[in-house]
Each structure stands twice: as C-alpha cells, then as structure tokens.
C-alpha cells in the first residue's frame, strides 16, 4: 500500500489571531492495528471554537496541544481494519481522532452512528457536542418559561441555532444575534426566531434594546466582549445567563476595544440577582445526553428542528477554515470533508 496518512500538527503557538504557519501538514505511514485496536479512516472532521484554546500554553479545563502535536478534534470515521470484537470493517463511528486522515483507536470513546437515523455529519453538530451544549445550557441553566425573552449570539452556528429553536419550542420569544444580513435572514425566516440583530451594525446596542422591549430573561452567552456589554443593561431581575463560550476573546486581549466590563458586570449581577453559570457540556452528559438525543433526534425527524452545515474540502484546508470561523466566515456547523 503506497497511500500515506496525513495529519495537521501545531507548528507554533499563535500570538492573537492564528496564522496558516501556526499549523503544519505532515505525512506519516498508515498505522497497523494491534490486538484490541481498530484502524479508522476519517471522513469528516469537526472544526470547533474550543480548539483555539488548545493552541495556547495556558491552564484551562483541558490540556493544551503540545508543540508538534496533532491538533485535537472529533470526527466521523469508517472502520477500515479491526482487531476488536465489537467493531467490523465498514462501521461508522464518532471518534476523537484529531486533524488527520487515519487513526488507531482502542474504542475507549467511540459512538457508532447509524446513517439510516440521521446523516452521519449531524453527530458533529446538531446531534453531537455543539447540540448538546445548547440543550444542556438552555434546559439546565437557562430554564426558559413561556413568554420569557431569550437572547443568543453566534445564532446561526450549531450551538446558537439550536438554543433558539429549543427556546421557541419552550414558548419563549427568541432574539438572535448574528453577523451580517444573510445569517440574520436565515435565523428569522428559516429557523423562526422572532427577531434577528446584526452585531456589526453601528447602532447594534439600540437595535438590541428595541428588539427586547420587556428586557431579557435568559441570555445564552457564546460571545462576550461588545455583545455582552450591549446585553448587560437589558437583563431583567433574576435573569439566567448560561456562559457557554466567549469567542470574541479567544484570539486574546489587545484586540478588544479597551473597555473593562468587570465593574459593570459585577454591579448588575448583584443588583439584579442574576444567576450566571459557566459550564462545559460534558458536565451534564451522564444525566441529560439520552434525553437530548431523543428530543433533538425526534425534532430533526419531524422537521421542527433544522440545522445547517458548512463543508470545506480537504484536510489541507482545515487551518484556513478554522481561522475564518473565529471571525464568522462559516455559516452553519463547520465540517471538513477529509
């Protein structure tokens, strides 16, 4: 077999916005499975905002990728060789393989995917980690009630789009924040959000206030930065703020607008008795994952829940697509067709 495996490693730790030269494409021999292992050929690689944090040498909830190490990531892969009794060639699985074309696994964290239930790529988005983040953050922390106003940013992405649709199912009024007219039209016209506000508009804070005449009861935080600043004065007493992500800050300080939002944030938390809770999706997995798969799976099957995927062709194009996602160039769940 002359075919080689390919992988993308972290070549340098980015200073601010990552550059293509922070990544390196390498060729390696295709590995051979030993007893108890399977060989996977990756079909689809998920690109997710958390990967930016793994590129920094900083303590977080997960270890950084070492310099020269393969970039982390989840993928949909086909079993092409098996020395494990539970797996056969042709099985399709969800696996944490990293940015590569081939990988060995001893099956510690594999989920088999059934293409007859839903397209397998949904395991990386609406029926996978991002979808579960939306489900757990909204249902466990946000707890929207009928008539509540729910606001979510990065609203056309895999997390935000499901937050908004679930909140609608729960009877809330939903305001989505997104970048640009096309994404705003999508969340309003196709996903059924009640209002869509473009965070790039110069009068974004007053437009957001206009779209939330009764204030905000649940703010699902995906972004931070200037969006948080606009949301903060609109929060109602006892509002709930699931803090899922802060993508506006991922490329580091120094790029912001120089505003220190902490004093205002603390004042509002106290005076309005806000419940602000950060979370990482897997903290809720043991208790809520089956219910998530049941409810969102059924919603996709009957058309009540919709999703959008944004495909990039070829592993070699993953770095550029990833860099673009941090600035909103993706439209829907970003997936590399490896």
Residues from 133 through 162 that contact ligand NAP (CB under 6 A): 133, 153-154, 156-160
- The sign of the CA dihedral 254, 257, 262, 263 is positive
Give dist(CA 79, CA 192) in Å, integer: 39
Q: How far apart are CB 112 and ligand NAP at their closest, in Å?
A: 22
- The 66-105 contact track toward ligand NAP, x by CB under 6 A, reads ----------------------------------------
Q: How far apart are CB 37 and ligand NAP at their closest, in Å?
A: 29
The phi, psi pair for 150, rounded to 5°, reads: -110, 130
Is the CB of residue 308 less than 8 Å from the CB of residue 333? Answer: yes
Cβ distance to ligand NAP smaller for residue 37 or 156: 156
Is the CB of residue 335 less than 8 Å from the CB of residue 260? Answer: no
Give 3's DSSP letter: -
Residue 302 corresponds to which tokens in the numbers above?
Answer: 């009957």
Residues from 313 through 332 that contact ligand NAP (CB under 6 A): 325, 328, 330
Among 45, 234, 247, 296, binds ligand NAP (CB under 6 A): 247
* E strand or H helix at 95: strand 92-95
Among 9, 110, 212, 227, binds ligand NAP (CB under 6 A): 227
Q: How far apart are CB 46 and ligand NAP at their closest, in Å?
A: 9
* E strand or H helix at 216: strand 216-220
Cβ distance to ligand NAP smaller for residue 159 or 212: 159
Cβ distance to ligand NAP smaller for residue 142 or 158: 158
Residues from 34 through 63 that contact ligand NAP (CB under 6 A): 48-50
Q: How far apart are CB 124 and ligand NAP at their closest, in Å?
A: 10
Among 141, 223, 335, 338, binds ligand NAP (CB under 6 A): 223
* Cα angle, residue 126 at apex, residues 16 and 336 outer, rounded to 5°: 55
Q: How far apart are CB 335 and ligand NAP at their closest, in Å?
A: 10
Give dist(CA 105, CA 110) in Å, integer: 9
Q: How far apart are CB 239 and ligand NAP at their closest, in Å?
A: 19
Among 7, 105, 122, 222, binds ligand NAP (CB under 6 A): 222
Residues from 265 through 294 that contact ligand NAP (CB under 6 A): 279-281
Residue with tokens 């948080």: 228
DSSP notation for 262-307: HHHHHHHHHHTT-EEEE--GGGGHHHHHHHHHHHHHHHHHTTSS--
Residue with tokens 């988005």: 125
Question: Would you tell me which residues interact with ligand NAP (CB under 6 A)?
Answer: 48-50, 129-130, 133, 153-154, 156-160, 178-179, 183, 199, 222-223, 225, 227, 244-245, 247-248, 279-281, 325, 328, 330, 334
């Amino acid at each position: 077999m002359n075919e080689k495996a390919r992988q993308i490693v972290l070549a340098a730790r980015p200073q601010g916005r990552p550059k293509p030269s922070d990544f390196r494409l390498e060729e390696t021999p295709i590995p051979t499975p030993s007893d108890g292992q399977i060989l996977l050929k990756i079909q689809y690689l998920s690109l997710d905002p958390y990967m930016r944090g793994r590129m920094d040498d900083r303590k977080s909830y997960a270890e950084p990728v070492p310099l020269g190490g393969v970039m982390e990531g989840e993928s949909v892969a086909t079993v092409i060789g098996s020395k494990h009794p539970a797996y056969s060639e042709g099985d399709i699985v969800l696996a944490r393989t990293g940015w590569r074309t081939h990988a060995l696994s001893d099956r510690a964290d594999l989920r088999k995917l059934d293409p007859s239930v839903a397209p397998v790529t949904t395991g990386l988005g609406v029926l996978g980690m991002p979808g579960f983040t939306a489900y757990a953050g909204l249902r466990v922390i946000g707890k929207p009630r009928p008539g509540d106003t729910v606001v979510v940013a990065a609203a056309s992405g895999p997390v935000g789009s499901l937050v908004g649709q679930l909140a609608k199912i729960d009877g809330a009024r939903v305001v989505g924040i997104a970048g640009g007219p096309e994404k705003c039209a999508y969340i309003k016209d196709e996903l059924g959000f009640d209002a869509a506000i473009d965070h790039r508009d110069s009068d974004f804070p007053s437009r957001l206030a206009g779209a939330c005449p009764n204030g905000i009861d649940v703010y699902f935080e995906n972004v931070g930065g200037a969006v948080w600043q606009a949301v903060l004065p609109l929060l109602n007493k006892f509002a709930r703020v699931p803090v899922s992500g802060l993508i506006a800050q991922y490329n580091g300080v120094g790029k912001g607008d120089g505003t220190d939002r902490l004093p205002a944030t603390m004042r509002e938390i106290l005076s309005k008795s806000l419940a602000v809770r950060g979370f990482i999706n897997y903290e809720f997995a043991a208790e809520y994952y089956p219910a998530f798969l049941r409810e969102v799976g059924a919603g996709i099957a009957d058309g009540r829940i919709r999703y959008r995927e944004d495909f990039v062709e070829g592993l070699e194009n993953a770095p550029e697509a990833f860099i673009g996602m941090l600035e909103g160039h993706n439209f829907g769940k970003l997936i590399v067709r490896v």
